[in-house]
Structure 1
Amino acid sequence: MDRKFLLGIIALMISLTSFAQVGVNTETPAATLDVTANLSDATPEGVIAPRLTGDQLKAADSQYGTAQIGAIVYATAAVTTASTKTVNVTVAGYYYFDGTVWQMIIGGTEWLISGTTTDAQSDKVGAISRSGRVGIGTLTPATKLDIKADASGTGFKMVDGTQGVGKIMTSDTNGVGMWQTQWFYLPSFNLDLSTVTNGKTVNLYEVYSNQFTKSSNTKFVSNNAALTSIPDQPVYAVSQLDFAVTDYDDTVIKVTSIDNNGIMTYDVLRTNASPDSYINIICIVK
Structure 2
Amino acid sequence: MSFKLALLCLGLNLTCINAQVGMPTNNPNKDAVLDLNRTDGTSAKGLLLPKVALTGLTSASPMTAHVAGMHIWNTATVTGTNGVSPGEYYNNGSKWIRVSSATDAWIQDGNSNGSLKVLGTNDAFDLPIETNGVEKMRVTSGGQVLVNTTTSMTGGTTAKVQINNGTTAGALQIKDGTENQGKVLTSDWNGVGTWQFPAVTPTYVGTWDSAYASISVKTADQTTQKYTGLSITLPPGKYYVNANFGFNIGNTTSWRYASYGLSATPSSGTPLQVHFIGGNPAMGGNTAMISNTSWIIDLSSATVNTKIYFYQCDVTVGNTTTSGCCEDQFFAVALRM
Shared fold (TM-score, shorter chain, > 0.5):
no
| TM-score bucket of the superposed structures, by smaller chain | 0.3 to 0.5
Larger strand share, 1 or 2: 2
Q: Output the TM-score relative to the length of structure 2.
A: 0.36
Q: Output the TM-score relative to the length of structure 1.
A: 0.41
Bigger radius of gyration among the two: 2
